[in-house]
Amino acid sequence: MSWCIFRARASSLRRCKARAALPAAALLGALAVPGVHAEAPVIDPGKLPRLGTVDTRLQSYNIEMVEVTGGRFWKPYPREGLAPPATGTDRFARREPIDLANPRLRRLAAALAPAYLRVSGTWANSTFVAEQDPPPAAPPAGFNGVLTRRQWQGVVAFSQAVDAPIVTSFAISAGTRDAHGAWTPVVARRLIDNTRADGGAIAAAEFMNEPDLPDIGGAPPGYDAAAYASDFATFRTLARAAAPDMKILGPGTITDSPGAAALLAATASGVDIVSYHFYGTLSQRCQGTHTPEAALGEAWLSATGRAAAFYRDLRDRYAPGKPIWLTETADAACGGSPWGKTFLDTFRYLDQLGQLAAAGVQVVMHNTLAASDYGLLDETTFAPRPNYWAALLWRRLLGSTVLGIQVGVQVGIHVPTESGLHVYAHCARGAPGGVTLLVINPDRVTSHSLTLVGASQRYTLDAATLQAATVRLNGSALALGADDALPALDAVATDAGPLAFAPASITFLVVPAAGNSVCRGG
C-alpha cells in the first residue's frame, strides 16, 4: 500500500511522497484516495485499524509563570467588539497572581484530568525563585520577576488537586550566570528542591523557553546553539542528580528554522522527549494579519500538520524513536486572536488535536488555561469558553488508541477531502469495543454527509454565529449550573445510515457497539 501525505492545497499535493513502509501513526494530513468521489463515504467503525496510541494526558494546558507571580501579560481585547488594542505598551496589562485555590477553577480543571500542567513561558526565563518567604521586595539583578514560596506551593497544591503533574522550564537570564556568562544551576535547583519540600514533583521540564528566540527570551547577546548546548549539559547534570525521575524535554523551539534544527542536533542525545511550540500566526495586538474569514480554511487548519512534520523529521534525524510533545500552542501568539475566545476557534482546537494524535504527537499543551483571549476559561470569572466545552467532550468521549479512517480499501486520517469533512477516530473512552468519531465540517455554507455503519450517540456543537461566546450542544446552550455544576452533556441517539453535518458544525459520534477488536480494552 502506498501512503501520501498532503496538506490540502494542490501545490502541496504535488510534493507528496509515496512511502510504502511509513508507519500509519506517522501520517499527517489527509489521505488522497484516487478515484473516490462519493458524496457520502461509508465508514464502518468496527473495521477501523489501529494507528497508534497517545499519552492519556494528551490534552493538557499551560498556566504561564507570569500568571503565578503576577505581572504584565497580554492585554485582553475589549469585551465588546473585536477592535484590537493599540500596539506598543497597550499590548500588556498588569494582572494579579492567579487564584489557584479558586473552587470553580479547580473544578473545571479537574474535569479535564488527567492532564499535564505546564508553568513556563517567556517570563519564566527571567523569574527569580525565592528560597523562603518573605521574598525580596524587588527582583535581584538579572531577573524581571519573583516567584514566592507561597505561590509555588499553590502550584503544587493545584497540580495535585486536579491530577495535572507539573511541567516547567527554568530561568536562564543574566542573574543565573557567572562572570564568564555560563549558566549556573542555583536557581533551578532551588525550584526543584522547593517542589520536593512542598510534597510535589516536576514530571518534565525544558531547560528554557524557546531558545530559538534568545533575544526575546532574556539570553545573553549572541546566544547560539553552541552556547545553548554548553548550558544544557550543565542543566542535564543537575536534572539527573537532583530530579532523576524528571523527564527532560527539548529543545522547546517555536520556529521551523535551521536554528531550531541546530539546537536539537546539539542536545538530542540528552533529551528524553522532543518538544516544540507552535502558533499559526501572531495575534492582531502583535500586528498579525490572520483574519476570521480564513479561520476555517484548509490552509489555516493544515498548518499544525506542517509544523509537526518539520519536528517529526528532526526527531527522526537526531533523536529517532523518542516521543514528541507539543508543549505550547494556541490560535495565535501574543495572547490569541480576538475570536480565540469564540466558537470560531474551536474548529482549530479540535482539528489540531485530531491531526496531532493521528500523527503520534503524545501530548498537546494549550496556552492557556485561563489568561488572555486564548484561555479555555475567562481570566476574570473562570467561566468556560467554547474551547473548554470542546476539551471536555474530547476528554469524556475519546480514548488513547487512535484509529485510521477506512473508506473502501484505503486507510488514512481523513475521509477523502472532496467529502468536505475532517474525520478522526479513536477508541471510545469507557466503552470496550466502541469507537468515537470526530466529524468537523468547516464549510460555512454547505452540509456534507457520510454513511455510518452502526447506531451512534451524537453530540453536535454549533453556535448562533461563528464568533459567539456561547456554544450549543445538540441545540442547547452550554453553561454551568447551580454551584458551578457541569451540565449533563446528553447525546442524541442516531440510527445507522447516511448522516448529514450542518455547515460550520462539529460532531462527536460514539458507536458503543462497534465491536472493534482493537478497542476491546476500552
477 falls within a domain: yes
Domain count, the chain: 2
DSSP code per residue over 322-354: --EEEEEEESSBTT--GGGGSGGGHHHHHHHHH
**Is the pLDDT confidence value at 22 over 50?**
no
The letter for the amino acid at 509 is L
pLDDT of 102 over the 50 cut: yes
Residue 484 belongs to a domain: yes
> Is 90 exceeded by the pLDDT of residue 30?
no
Which CATH number is 169's domain given? 3.20.20.80
Q: What is the CATH number of the domain that holds 510?
A: 2.60.40.1180
What is the pLDDT at residue 84? 52
Domain boundary among 367, 399, 431: 399
Dump pLDDT digits (tens) for 459-509: 999 999 999 999 999 999 999 999 999 999 999 999 999 999 999 999 999
Domain membership flag for residue 281: no
What is the span of the domain harbouring residue 513? 33-49+404-519
Closest CA to 335 of 345, 325, 322, 347: 345
In a domain, 9, yes or no: no
Which of 399, 420, 435 corresponds to the end of one domain?
399
- Report yes or no on 443 lying in a domain: yes
C-alpha cell at 148: 514566592
216 lies in a domain? yes
- Does position 232 have pLDDT exceeding 60, yes or no? yes
Give yes or no: residues 44 and 122 share one domain: no
In a shared domain, residues 179 and 119: yes
Domain boundary among 399, 420, 439: 399
Number of C-alpha atoms within 13 angstroms, CB side, residue 324? Answer: 28
Interval 370-379 mean pLDDT: 97
Same domain, 160 and 122: yes
pLDDT of the residue at 14: 26
Q: In this structure, are 73 and 218 located in the same domain?
A: yes
For residues 463 and 509, membership in a common domain is answered with yes
**R_g of the chain computed on alpha carbons:** 23
Q: Is the domain of 154 the same as that of 209?
A: yes
User: If DSSP codes are grouped into helix, strand and coil, which group holds residue 391?
Assistant: helix
Q: Are residues 150 and 218 in the same domain?
A: yes
In this prediction, residue 78 carries a pLDDT of 80
Are 497 and 484 within one domain? Answer: yes
> What is the structure's pLDDT at 34?
28
Has residue 219 been placed in a domain? yes
Torsion angles phi and psi, residue 185, rounded to 5: -90, 15
On whether the CB atoms of residues 510 and 436 are closer than 8 A, the answer is: yes
Same-domain pairing of 81 and 211: yes
Is the domain of 394 the same as that of 457? no
Indicate whether 36 pLDDT > 70: no
Same domain as 385, residue 341: yes
- How does the average pLDDT of the chain come out, rounded? 90
Mean pLDDT, residues 292-319 taken together: 96
Residue 261 covered by a domain: no
**346 and 422 housed in the same domain:** no
Q: Please check whether residue 253 is in contact with residue 233, taking contact to mean a CB–CB distance below 8 angstroms.
A: no
